[in-house]
Amino acid sequence: MKPILMIPCRASGFTLVEMAIVLMIVGLLLGGMLVPLSAQMEQRNISDTRKTLDEIQQALIGYALINGSLPHPARATLVTGVDANAGLVDNTLTTGVVPWATLGTSETDAWGRRFTYSVTNSFTTPFTLNTNGTLNVKSAASGGSTVATNIPAVIVSHGKNGLGAYTPDGQQILPVPVATTDEGENTNANNTFVSHDFGPTFDDLVVWISPNILFNRMVAAGKLP
C-alpha cells in the first residue's frame, strides 16, 4: 500500500495584516461619508432658518396690517423662573427677541436659539408714509458699504455658533462678540447691523423689513395713507 501524502491546508480567514488593511479602507470610506453628511445637515439648518426668517417677516407685516404698527420685541431674559410673558411684546423695548407668542411664529432658529429683533420706535405706533426708520444694514462693521438704510425692523439668527443669542431658558450664549466685529454689530443693540456671506468669523443670518414693501402692503390693504 502506498503511503498517503498529507498536503498541508492553509487556514481560511484574514491575516492580521489583511485585517488592518480592511479596517483602514473602511475607516477612510466612513470618514469620506461623514463630512458630506455633516455639511448636508448644516445646509439644512441654514435653509430651515431662512424659511423661519421669511415667516417672521411676513408675520411682522401682517401684524402691521392689523394694528397699523410693528410690534415691540419680547424680553430676551427670564425675570423669575418660568416667565409668563415669554414671547409677548414688551412695550418698553426696541431691541430684544422676536415676540413669537404674539406673532405665532417659531421661538428659535434651527440651532435652538431665539431670534434677535430690533425695531425703530416710531414704527411701534401708527405710522405714515413719511415715517423713517433708523436702522441700517452694512456689508461689514468697519469700512463696509451700505446694504439697506432707514429700515423699520431687523431680525437676526446668530447662526451655528450662536454667540450673543439667547436660549429658550433666557440665557445668553457667551462670549458675546466684540461690538466692533461683524457679529458684534448684530448683538450690541445699536442701529447698525451687518449682513454678508458666511466666513470663519461670521455665520449670522440677517433679514429686515423693507420700508417700501411695508408701505406698499399697507397702501394695498387700505391702511395708508
- In order along its 225 residues, the chain shows pLDDT tens digits of 555 555 555 555 667 777 788 888 877 766 665 557 777 888 999 999 999 999 999 999 999 999 999 999 999 987 666 677 899 999 999 999 999 999 999 999 999 999 999 999 999 999 999 999 999 999 999 989 999 999 999 999 999 999 999 999 999 999 999 999 999 999 999 999 999 999 999 999 999 999 999 999 999 999 998
Coil vs helix vs strand at 123: helix
**How does DSSP assign 213-225, residue by residue?**
HHHHHHHHTT---
Residues 106 and 155 sit within 8 Å (Cβ to Cβ): no
- 210 — phi, psi (to 5°)? -70, 130
Nearest Cα neighbor of 41 from 150, 160, 198 is: 160
**Looking at residue 225, what is its pLDDT?**
87
Residues 152 and 209 sit within 8 Å (Cβ to Cβ): yes
Is residue 76 within a helix (H) or strand (E), and if so which, with residue range?
none
**Looking at residue 24, what is its pLDDT?**
81
Residue in the structure block whose three cell numbers are 387700505: 222
DSSP state letter for 158: -
**Looking at residue 20, what is its pLDDT?**
80
DSSP state letter for 122: G
- What pTM was computed for the model? 0.82
**Looking at residue 37, what is its pLDDT?**
72
Helices (H), the chain: 16-67, 100-103, 182-185, 211-220
How many CA atoms within 13 Å lie on the side-chain side of 52?
25
Cα of first residue to Cα of last residue in the chain, in angstroms, is 119
Residues 128 and 83 sit within 8 Å (Cβ to Cβ): no
